[in-house]
A and B are shown apart, each in its own frame.
Chain A
Amino acid sequence: MQINKIMAKTISAIFLLLIVCVSIVPFLWVFASSFKSNADIMSAAMGFPNGLKFINYKNAFKLAPIDKFYINSIIVTFFGILLNVTFASAAAYVLSRFSFKGARFLTVMLSMGLFIPGAALLQPLFQIISKANLSNSHAGLVIVYSALGLATTLYVMISYFKTIPKELEESAYIEGSGFVNTFFRIILPLTRPALSTAAVIQFLLCWNEFQFALILTSDNNVRTLPIALYYFKSSFASDYGAMFAATILVICPSIIVFILLQKQVVRGLVAGSVKG
């Protein structure tokens, strides 16, 4: 019995160690490469034979308009999350709380986004956004990203609303609270964990998306960070050091957001998935 327990502990420890290695190697590798010279990266040298190249970070800003793109990414991500979470949670509330004709149909329809691949929508969406005069604007990207994340946010929110007892609202109504008031004052504060879960997932989408950002914008005053990564690779000259420096600059906010919100995320999913 005791031996079995030790065996199990050892095996799970080795397994975890393996998982940790496999997951952290990519990050460490990118991080180390961001301080390497081009030649060192391309010969995969261990260490830094040509010295630490802090200049990669300077070059990253010089070769690509990273500062501008940073601001645009923050704007697009902020509003992308706001719009997505507001719209989806309002819809999720109604769809999970009230039974009316078409409720089921609407939920099925809105969750279709889960299995519609973005790649298939690229060309059609380009036409639509141009027709609507939204191309080359923050608004165009915000709308597209909000829609792309609609299904996931809706799913997280619906399952969470289902865990909140109906009695809460009923007593609120009896006390004379209106519909909107009940939603904003009583229900929404309770879903803070689910809201932050949805926000993190939506953050990753808005922050990392490349294809739509490229196709739907043309002006550097509108474009977002993932496009910056392509400034370092061209057919006859590439600056990999600067590219990995830029990659680190792009990743950092994501990691910070995840660490800050991970407690909330997990809580959100806990309660949210009690009843799927």
Chain B
Amino acid sequence: MKVKKRWIIIFLTPAVLLFAFVYLTSLYILVTTSFTDLTAGGGGNFVGLKNYIELFKPASEFWSVLKNNVIWVLLQSTVHVYLGVIVALILARNKWYTSLVRTIYMLPNIISNAALGMLFIFILNPKFGLINNTWRLISGNDAYMQNWFMDPKTAFGSVTMTWLPYAGITAILVMAEMTSIPDSIYEAAIIDGASQLQINMFIVLPLMRNIIGTTTILAASNMLQKLDIILLTTSGGPGTRTTNMPMSIYRTALIDNNYSLANAQGVFLILFGLVAVLLIRKIYRMNENILG
């Protein structure tokens, strides 16, 4: 038993040290500087809650930023995840095209965000972009002109579409889990006269609850990291219509040089992420597992 204890410590130490070195120290800096007036040019004096008050005063732009981010988290943890689940259900139980479609669906997740951003800029270009050109061809209206990313009415939706359909990771996670369902369950259901839809609805999906919860957490937390693609397509505009929290942090730190205010947003973003994860776990009644 003594030996085992020693080995437990030896096995844990590297990961804990790594975590402490990278995360704990930076979190410490992040939290402490959020109570100072640190800027790119200097500063660093304690100012109490000033940054947080600034952030949440009624006229602050941060409210609309927060609203955008909440909507994106909601969309991503519903539509995006369901899309991935539907693809998984269709592809389940190895068909000849399963592996091909799975690889293709993963492609957008493999291509770097910088390249994806450029691509959407060109595809949605109002003058010569693929979408507008196609619509002109179909509708016969040569004067059709929609500036998808810059029109205040379509900007948010257009940015959303750069990530919402690409649920490759969700799909492979769910598919993997589905292969663990014994064939006998399917066979029994078919003998009982259940349709494919009924099997999916009443047998497969309930068994998938855990993995769907997990992918929802992954998808939602991903929405708290999105930056490159927004930067390249709309850089958060028009106004603040497509600004999310990472974008706002980026701007506050690197455009406005206001590091302490950016760090206050960082602290808030982490707390926001924590709350989101806990909520998702509650909703999907996920088993007690590693997230406690």
Interface residues of A (CB under 8 A from B): 4-5, 8, 12, 15-16, 19-20, 22-27, 29-30, 41, 43-44, 83, 86-88, 90-91, 93-95, 98, 100, 104, 106-125, 127-128, 132, 143-144, 146-148, 150, 154-155, 158-159, 178-180, 183, 204, 208, 210, 226, 229-230, 240, 243-244, 247, 250-251, 254-255, 258-259, 262, 265-276
> Which of B83, B111, B211 contacts A30, CB < 8 Å?
B111
- How many A-B residue pairs lie within 8 Å, measured between CB atoms? 270
Q: How far is the CB of A140 from chain B (nearest CB, A)?
A: 10
Question: A179 CB to closest chain B CB, in angstroms?
Answer: 4
Residue of A nearest to B250 (CB): A119
Interface of A, helix, strand, loop or mixed by DSSP: helix
Measured CB to CB, the nearest residue on chain A to B122 is A44
Binds A, one of B48-56, B57-65, B138-146, B265-273: B265-273
Contact A247 B111 (CB under 8 A): yes
Beta-carbon contact of B128 and A276 below 8 Å:
no
- Shortest CB-to-CB span from A223 to chain B, Å, is 15
From known contacts A124-B29, A155-B290, A266-B172, infer whether A179 and B7 are also in contact, taking CB-CB under 8 Å: yes
Instruction: Evaluate whether A247 and B112 lie within 8 angstroms (CB atoms) in the complex, with A22-B165, A44-B128, A111-B291 already known.
Output: yes
B189 within 8 A of A: no
How close is B161's CB to chain A, nearest CB, in angstroms?
9
Would you call B179 and A270 a contact (CB within 8 A)? Answer: yes
Query: How far apart sit A113 and B270, CA to CA, in the bound complex (Å)?
Result: 10
Chain A residues, CB < 8 A from B175: 266
- List, in ascending order, chain A residues with CB within 8 A of B225's CB: 117-119
Is A120 a contact of B249 with CB atoms below 8 Å? yes
Q: B85 near A: Cβ within 8 Å?
A: no
Determine the chain A residues whose CB is within 8 A of the CB of B29 once the complex forms. Answer: 123-124, 127-128
Q: How far is the CB of A123 from chain B (nearest CB, A)?
A: 6
A273: contacting residue among B177, B197, B221, B269, CB under 8 A: B177
Distance in Å: Cβ of B99 to nearest Cβ of chain A: 7
Do residues B259 and A147 form an inter-chain contact, with CB atoms below 8 A? no
* Given known A-B contacts A8-B196, A144-B22, A269 and B112 have beta carbons under 8 A apart: no
Q: How far is the CB of B41 from chain A (nearest CB, A)?
A: 14
Residues A108 and B292 in contact in the complex (CB < 8 Å), given A91-B16, A273-B180, A276-B287: yes
- CB distance A20 to B101 under 8 Å? yes
In the complex, B274 has a CB within 8 A of chain A: yes
List, in ascending order, chain A residues with CB within 8 A of B180's CB: 270-271, 273-274
Residues of A within 8 A of B112 (CB): 208, 210, 226, 229, 247, 250-251
User: With a CB–CB cut-off of 8 A, which chain B residues contact A127?
Assistant: 29
B173–A269 CB distance below 8 A: yes
Encode contact with A along B96-118: 1 for CB under 8 Å, 0 otherwise. 01010111111111111111101
Give me 12 other A-B pairs in contact (C-beta within 8 A), A107-B290, A124-B26, A124-B30 excluded: A15-B87, A25-B123, A116-B23, A117-B273, A122-B253, A123-B29, A124-B263, A204-B110, A251-B112, A266-B172, A270-B176, A276-B214
A15 CB to nearest chain B CB (Å): 7
Q: Which of B229-257 contact A (CB under 8 A)?
A: 245-246, 249-250, 253
Q: How far is the CA of A155 from the CA of B84 in the complex (A)?
A: 20
A270 to B253, CA, bound (A): 42
| Contact present for B12 and A94 (CB under 8 Å) | yes
Complex CA gap A106/B180 in Å reads 29
* Range of interface residues on B (Cβ < 8 Å): 35 or more
Chain B nearest CB from A51 CB (Å) reads 19
Q: B277 near A30 (CB under 8 angstroms)?
A: no
Kindly state the separation between the CA atoms of A254 and B111 in the bound complex, as whole angstroms: 8
Q: B209: nearest residue on chain A (CB-CB)?
A: A276
B202 within 8 A of A: no
For the complex, give the distance between the alpha carbons of A110 and B292 in Å.
11
- Cβ-defined partner of B30 (8 Å) among A120, A250, A259: A120
- In the bound assembly, the distance between CA atoms of A218 and B102 in angstroms comes to 38
Contact, CB under 8 Å: B115 / A247 = yes
Beta-carbon contact of B119 and A30 below 8 Å: yes
Q: Can you show 9 pairs from A to B with CB atoms below 8 A apart?
A: A26-B108, A94-B7, A106-B16, A110-B15, A110-B16, A117-B246, A121-B30, A124-B263, A273-B173
Measured between beta carbons, the chain B residues less than 8 angstroms from A120 are 30, 246, 249, 263, 265-267, 269-270
CB contacts (< 8 Å) of B210 on chain A: these are 273, 276
Q: Which residues of B contact A275 (CB under 8 A)?
A: 287
> What are the 10 closest A-B residue pairs judged by CB atoms, nearest first?
A120-B266, A269-B176, A115-B273, A147-B22, A124-B26, A91-B15, A124-B29, A276-B210, A44-B128, A90-B11
> For residue B278, which residue of chain A has the nearest CB?
A115
Assembled-state Cα–Cα distance A272/B36 (Å) = 45
